[in-house]
């Protein structure tokens, strides 16, 4: 089967770029500084208040792939002995290249993609007036088209959820956080112009997800 793992990294837009009505809505319940900080952090998670910094895409069988990432004026480069290309683009360019690429795969694999990556991508694409090339939210109870490993490892919500980092540690897989960078570092890295480090972190995410997929697929995938 021709398949691809993908993962996105996001970051809130500057709050001052939102209009007064949007800001009032977002912070209307924030009565303390701690609550305001919490509201600011939640902005990273919605497509109307956050941007896509990177999308990593990796074939879990060939280990070939690409990371599309924001890097103004950057040049394309290769890592992993030329198997993975890091492609600098604008956010709109990232979204367009994602849709061109995903159209070539019969199965896509995510970690928590049904609850985050997929709806985020669909709505962010609509904001840019970019038509999706496929439905990222197909029938939930089958992994033939979309294999969301969070769904599979919780048996569709029957069991407790853990983070990708936690599952990796539990299965003896190298965590994407092993290099000391987490999703909370995206703001400082982007602000300091350390764009390639964001791309490399995103690549570690898809590599870890690919390894987790192989572990799950080899032992727990009962559907044919």
Quick one: pLDDT at residue 83?
96
Per-residue pLDDT, 224? 54
Q: What is the CATH number of the domain that holds 201?
A: 3.30.420.10
Map tokens 């992994």 to a residue.
143
Q: Using CA atoms, how far apart are residues 146 and 173, in angstroms rounded to an integer?
A: 22
Full residue range of the structural domain in which residue 164 is found: 3-219
Residue 109 has what pLDDT? 98
In-domain check, residue 53:
yes
Q: Is 85 left (phi over 0), alpha (psi -120 to 50) or beta?
A: beta
Question: Could you tell me if 167 and 214 are in contact, meaning their C-beta atoms sit under 8 angstroms apart?
Answer: no
> Is 224 a member of any domain?
no
Distance CA 199, CA 37 (A): 26
Instruction: Please give the pLDDT value at position 78.
Output: 96
**Among residues 207, 215, 222, which one has the least CA distance to residue 170?**
215
Per-residue b or e along 138-174, where b marks 16 or more CB atoms closer than 10 Å to that residue's CB: eeeeebeebbbbbbbbeeeeeeeeeebbebbeeeebe
Query: Is residue 128 assigned to a domain?
Result: yes
Domain count, the chain: 1
HEC sequence for the chain = CCEEEEEEEEEECCHHHCCHHHHHHHHCCCCCHHHHHHHHHHHHHCCCCEEEEEEEEECCCCCCEEEEEECCCCCCEEECCCCEEEEEECHHHHHHHHHHHHCCCCEEEECCCCCCHHHHHHHHHHHCCCCCCCCCCCCCCCCCCEEEHHHHHCCCCCCCCCCHHHHHHHHCCCCCCCCCCCHHHHHHHHHCCCHHHHHHHHHHHHHHHHHHHHHHHHHCCCCC
pLDDT of res. 40: 93
pTM of the model: 0.95
In this prediction, residue 222 carries a pLDDT of 83
Q: What is the pLDDT of residue 99?
A: 98
pLDDT digit string (tens) for the chain, length 224 residues: 899 999 999 999 999 999 999 999 999 999 999 999 999 999 999 999 999 999 999 999 999 999 999 998 899 999 999 999 999 999 999 999 999 999 999 999 999 999 999 999 999 999 999 999 999 999 999 999 999 999 999 999 999 999 999 999 999 999 999 888 888 899 999 999 999 999 999 999 999 999 999 999 999 998 65
Tokens (6 digits) for 171: 């299965």
């Amino acid at each position: 089967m021709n398949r691809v793992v993908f993962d996105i990294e996001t970051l809130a837009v500057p709050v001052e770029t939102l209009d007064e009505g949007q800001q009032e809505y977002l912070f209307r319940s924030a009565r303390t500084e701690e609550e305001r900080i919490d509201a600011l952090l939640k902005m990273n998670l919605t497509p109307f208040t956050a941007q896509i910094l990177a999308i990593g895409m990796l074939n879990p069988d060939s280990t070939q792939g690409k990371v599309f990432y924001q890097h103004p004026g950057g040049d394309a480069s290769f890592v992993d002995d030329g198997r993975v290309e890091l492609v600098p683009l604008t956010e709109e360019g990232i979204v367009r290249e994602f849709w061109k690429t995903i159209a070539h795969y019969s199965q896509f694999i995510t970690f928590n993609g049904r609850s985050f990556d997929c709806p985020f991508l669909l709505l962010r694409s609509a904001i840019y007036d970019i038509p999706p090339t496929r439905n990222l939210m197909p029938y939930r109870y089958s992994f033939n088209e979309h294999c969301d490993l969070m769904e599979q490892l919780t048996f569709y919500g029957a069991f407790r959820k853990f983070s990708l980092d936690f599952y990796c540690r539990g299965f003896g897989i190298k965590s994407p956080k092993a290099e000391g960078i987490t999703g909370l570092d995206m703001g400082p890295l982007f602000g300091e112009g350390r764009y390639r480090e964001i791309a490399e972190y995103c690549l570690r995410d898809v590599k870890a997800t690919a390894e987790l997929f192989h572990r799950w697929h080899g032992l727990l995938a009962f559907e044919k």
